[in-house]
Amino acid sequence: MAMGEPAADGLTEKCGVVGMSLDEEDAALPLYYGLYALQHRGQESAGIVTHDGFQQHSHVEMGLVGDAFDEADVESLKGSSGIGHVRYPTAGSVDTSCAQPFTVSFKGGALGLSHNGNLVNAAEVRDDLANKGHAFTSDGDTEVIAHDLARNLLEEDLVRAVKRTMERVHGSYALTITHDDTVLGVRDPEGNRPLCIGRLDDGHVIASESAAIDTLGGELVRDVKPGELVVLHEDGGGFDSYQLKDPEHTAHCFFEYVYFARPDSVIDEELVYEVRRELGRKLWAEAGADTDVVMPVPDSGRAFASGYADAAQEDDADVEFAEGLMKNRYVGRTFIMPTQEARERAVRLKLNPIRSTVEGKTVTLIDDSIVRGTTSDQLVELLYDAGAEEVHVRIGAPKILAPCYMGINMATREELIGANRSTEEICEHIGADSLSYLSVDAITEAVGKSGDDLCLGCVTGEYPYDIDGEMTDRDVERPVVRPEPVDAD
């Protein structure tokens, strides 16, 4: 554990980024479609910045992509190169000044910047820049990166300026950047957040997930490498690569596979859907329950439950896969819940059991994670109320026992039900007949990466970055951490 380092500060952000250089066509409409494909990564705000060779154009608004842009907005964004961003709704009040892409019109031209991730030394860098006279309009990490880069660009060429900024900022970042009409992609040396390159009919694209490339009818070329700067050619015909930092180990976020990314995306060479199915199979192998039916929590548990049911059937277990919970897709954020009783009713509004698949049956309920435990609690009760004989809960990931500092706004340590409770206690808390999590080993196997190359901080409590007050897994002996289950149930 590294003392003396400043803690992770600023807003935690979980976002989607995209960038594009086309031959002749305007980039705004494809960027807009790309953002649509990444909408699951952020629903708070959406923005696009383009450059027409002479000047920069920008449109950023609160809300979903479809609400933030109308046809005139897209049309006004001239130019064949540009970047886009969708931003995650964080808890509490929303600061519009944090909507992205962030733009700077400075003496060295125009800069646009889209960021997914979280710096651990943003406060320090910000203080330095403020001392040099920089005025900040937001308290986000992105403005810090943008000002540092703009400052470097007044003194260095593009590649060196980026390198200098990469040496200055620490933490997780997947960036798409425009400097005038040049489009860049940058991934932090640990490769924490995903970023990949695609080829289109008339250009190239950089995006958080490959599903955005599919949506544009393009082809995935490869992932951006940890520590790599990619510079798209202005005519869309290709890209140059600069390996600006060489990591010893990477720290890919395993939670992208489990929870956050689209199932149809390929991240660091693995198809997310298949990873989830494989996790489901391993869940059967490690902790299969002999019940009449197995059902997913929709939609998050579906791929896991499908793999689980397949593995069960291969074992000739008589476990029927069924949709036992109907999801109300219209329950949104603005839901009114004035009383405690109303809050308890909330889960009934979101999920209603289909009685015929539950009544008089023993049930295995599959989900991807338990964060605060409140929903699981209510789901188990819901199934009993609908006549389930037994309810066994199986989770397709290890127990979350520590917060994320790398850009997922998960929960505080106090809120995390897994931080201070054994699996037995959690099982009792949610009222299930049994509860099992997946092992950490199952994750590394299913993802096909060594534990040394993954960020498993939230399920091990050991982080690949220096977080004030937290252990760094780079400082501890590896063998201790991974081979054995972190908490034996």
Residues 20-39 interacting with a copy of itself (rule: CB under 8 A): 29, 32-33, 36-37, 39
What distance in Å separates the CA atoms of residue 435 and residue 419, rounded to the nearest whole number? 16
105 binds a copy of itself (CB under 8 A): yes
The CB-of-481 to a copy of itself minimum distance in angstroms stands at 28
The full DSSP string for 156-187 is S-HHHHHHHHHHH--EEEEEEEEETTEEEEEE
Q: Cβ 140 to a copy of itself, closest distance in Å? A: 14
Q: Does 354 bind a copy of itself (CB under 8 A)?
A: yes
Which of 269, 345, 450, 475 contacts a copy of itself by CB under 8 A? Answer: 345
Nearest to 195 by CA among 135, 274, 114, 273: 114
Segment lying near a copy of itself (by CB under 8 A), choices 115-123, 127-135, 243-251, 394-402: 127-135
**Total binding residues toward a copy of itself, as defined by CB under 8 A:** 78
Residue 15 known to be catalytic: yes
* Residue of the chain from 1, 62, 74, 471 that contacts a copy of itself (CB under 8 A): 74
HSE, side-chain direction, 13 A CA sphere, residue 466? 11
What would the DSSP string read from start to end of 186-206? EE-TT--S--EEEEETTEEEE
Pairwise CA distance, residues 82 & 179, whole Å: 9
- Residues in region 180-219 near a copy of itself by CB under 8 A: 180, 211, 214-217
User: Tokens 């037994």 appear where?
Assistant: 390
Residues between 129 and 158 with contacts to a copy of itself, criterion CB under 8 A: 133-135, 137, 147, 150
448 binds a copy of itself (CB under 8 A): no
DSSP 338-382: -SHHHHHHHHHHHEEE-GGGTTT-EEEEEES--SSSHHHHHHHHH
315 assigned ligand-binding residue? no
| Least distance CB 242 / a copy of itself (angstroms) | 22
Taking CB under 8 A as the binding criterion, the range among 100-108, 158-166, 440-448, 456-464 that sits at the site for a copy of itself is 100-108
Stretch that binds a copy of itself, among 5-13, 168-176, 184-192, 351-359 (CB under 8 A): 351-359
Q: Are 67 and 93 in contact (CB under 8 A)?
A: no
Cβ closer to a copy of itself: 3 or 72? 72
Q: Is 263 one of the binding residues for a copy of itself (CB under 8 A)?
A: yes
Would the annotation count 268 as a binding residue?
A: no
The identity of residue 279, as a single letter, is L
State how far Cα 50 lies from the chain centre.
25
Radius of gyration over every alpha carbon of the chain, rounded to an integer in angstroms: 23
Q: Please, what is the minimum distance in Å from the beta carbon of residue 40 to a copy of itself?
A: 7
For a copy of itself, what does the binding mask look like between residues 310 and 329, x meaning CB under 8 A?
A: -----------xxx--x-xx
Q: Measuring CA to CA, which residue among 227, 204, 223, 305 is closest to residue 266?
A: 223
Catalytic annotation, pick one of 15, 98, 196, 427: 15
Could you tell me which residues come within 8 angstroms of residue 461 by beta carbon, excluding any fewer than 6 positions away? Answer: 401, 402, 470, 471, 486
Q: How far apart are the C-alpha atoms of 153 and 177, rounded to whole Å?
A: 13
Residues annotated as binding site for Mg(2+)? 300, 367-368
Annotated catalytic residues are: 15
